[in-house]
Chain A
Amino acid sequence: MSHEPSSVTLERIDANRWRIPRSGGMRVDGLIFADDTLIAEIRDDPCLEQVRNVAHLPGIVGASLAMPDIHWGYGFPIGGVAAMDGVDGVISPGGVGYDIN
């Protein structure tokens, strides 16, 4: 379980968008939708690391996305969106979660 204190780099894009710039094995950036109020709640949460981790997955397109209600979930954050190439990408049960649908 990766619950170490977050060492994720966050760059502000605008009033409601934050970027985790691509680094290491990340294939795309992380993109988080949050304003100052919500980013303060998320900032030290392990869910940001999860946004970064999802960006490593083969076939991910665009960015590893996080909605403003993001919180920690199994593997993928809850409030996360990840689009994979329909041919070369992967499918992950953790990206859907236990409560299917």
Chain B
Amino acid sequence: MYRNVPTGVGSHRRDLTLSAMALRRVLEHGARWAVQEGFGRREDLDVVEEGGCLPGADPDRVSDRACERGHTQLGTLGSGNHFAELQYVAEVYDARVAAAFGLFKDQVTIMIHSGSRGLGHQVCQEHLREMVDASRRHGIELPDRQLCCAPIRSPEGRAYLAAMAAAANFAFANRQVMGHWVRESVASALGVAPDRTGITVVYDVCHNIAKFETFTVKGRTRELCVHRKGATRAYPPGHPQTPAAYREVGQPVLIPGDMGRYSYVLVGTERALGETFGSACHGAGRRMSRSQAKRSARGRSLLDEMHARGVEVMAAGMATVAEEMPEAYKDVADVVRVVDAAGLARRVAQLRPIGVIKG
């Protein structure tokens, strides 16, 4: 896996180079492009939020600089909090829902956390600059200029939404490509054909996105633009956007923890729909800044510490491992307990890490 899934800034793989035309198709079609090009299977898309493609993406709204950054980064993990993890199902809390998700105790699972890489970063940076002026032009009073924004239907608002959707599609394609390479890695390690690994996708979810979704608010049906920043969608059973395979139980909600402890799979509820516009948490949340974590890592061998806990870590750079060490994060079990107790999503299974790949 570490050899097959590039972690760093640019990809070393020679078998995936994107022409300018191909990048446009990635931005327009997201994970669908990846499946058409042979990365993964058609049925993978049934369990990706929005089928792996946000509508309204316009490649012309993505700057040349952003495209340049994306060009060599499709199928790369990236650094920061991104990771690919080999895990096992340590606990099952709800056997019926776990079975519907295809999960069972002691099963090996793989979790990938990555996004739109430099392309999305560039899109955000450029549009933030424009939005500062846009807020002023539209007479929006802001308590903090970092909240700069524009009316959804204004030219500036539309431009950002079209670029954001394109970046989101890049992220869907990025994970789809990496998922394919993970399947190939497992196939080669087990000495079986790539279509005989038995690896199926449980779910693929956004966690930094703004999307148009329909809700009933005080008895009235309304289309809302839901901003979820470090939060994931958590739809209940029976919702038309919950994948058909999970319609009876609800949408899987994936909550990664830190690299040393555990991650969780939850399931969406009706209550979240009414109370949080169908949203739940995304992860553990940092409790140390990156620089604090690096200071605390000085003089320690984090790889040995992780090995002693039964977790093998392979990383492109040790700085990332220091920033991402387990104690830099809150205990995700605390976070999940609140989400479960508040009724926003229910616990289904706990996953524990065996091997971690960091950029």
A interface residues (Cβ-Cβ under 8 A, vs B): 1-2, 15-17, 25, 33-35, 37-38, 41, 50, 52-54, 56-59, 61-62, 65, 67-71, 73-101
Contact = CB atoms under 8 A, between A and B. Distances in A.
Contact of A38 (B149, B338, B344): B338
Interface of B: 80, 115-116, 120-121, 123-125, 127-128, 131, 140-144, 146-153, 157, 160-161, 164, 167-168, 170-172, 206-210, 212, 215, 217, 222-231, 276-277, 279-287, 330, 332, 334-335, 337-339, 341-342, 344
Shortest Cβ-Cβ A-B pairs, 8 listed:
A101-B171, A69-B285, A75-B146, A95-B227, A100-B120, A92-B149, A78-B230, A86-B223
Contact of A83 (B121, B151, B227, B332): B227
11 contacts: A67-B230, A67-B231, A69-B285, A80-B231, A86-B225, A91-B149, A92-B147, A94-B229, A96-B124, A100-B167, A100-B208
Contact of B131 (A41, A88, A92): A92
B116 A83 contact: no
Contacts of A82: 226-227
Contact of B229 (A57, A79, A85): A79
A61 B223 CA distance: 11
B149 A16 contact: no
A58 B138 CA distance: 11
A25 B121 contact: no
Nearest to A65: B276
A16 B342 contact: yes
Nearest to A26: B143
A100 B164 contact: yes
Nearest to B128: A93
User: B interface, by DSSP: helix, strand, loop or mixed?
Assistant: mixed
Most buried by B among A37, A74, A82: A82
A57 to B, nearest CB: 6
A81 B149 contact: no
A68 B335 contact: yes
Given A53-B142, A79-B230, A94-B229, 5 more contacts: A78-B285, A79-B285, A80-B229, A96-B209, A100-B167
B282 A89 contact: no
A101 B167 contact: yes
Given A58-B140, A90-B152, A80 B277 contact: no
Given A83-B215, A100-B124, A101-B116, A89 B338 contact: no
A37 B228 CA distance: 24
A61 B217 contact: yes
Contacts of B222: 61, 85-86
Nearest to A55: B143
A46 B123 CA distance: 26
B157 A67 contact: no
